Amino acid sequence: MAETKAYFFYVLLCADRSFYGGFTNDLTARLAKHNAGKGAKYTKYRRPCRLIYHECFADKSSALKAEYAFKHQSRSKKEAYLRQHGVGEQYLRK
């Protein structure tokens, strides 16, 4: 029986209060990489980063689509999306 792998779309709140959206199959390791300065060029100089949202998908393609859709939104639309998914106001204020 094949093991099912989970993929995640996630959102980080960076130290400068900006959002970073990404995807991974290991949230803990990916967050550690971001905070070590090795996760992404965008987060390297915006540390520390805090995981404020994640969503699980059964396949990589769906997680990548969610990441792409999030990254191509305005700040206000990103905030609306996060509010709709239960992220608290303390993470959304600039």
Domains and CATH numbers, the chain: 7-91 (3.40.1440.10)
pLDDT for res 5: 86
The verdict on whether omega for the bond into residue 48 sits within 30 degrees of 0, i.e. cis, is yes
Tens digits of residue pLDDT in 2-55: 567 899 999 999 999 999 999 999 999 999 999 999 989 999 999 999 999 999
Check whether 82 has a pLDDT greater than 90: yes
pLDDT for res 2: 57
Instruction: Output the pTM of the full model.
Output: 0.93
pLDDT for res 1: 55
The two beta strands, 50-57 and 7-13, are antiparallel
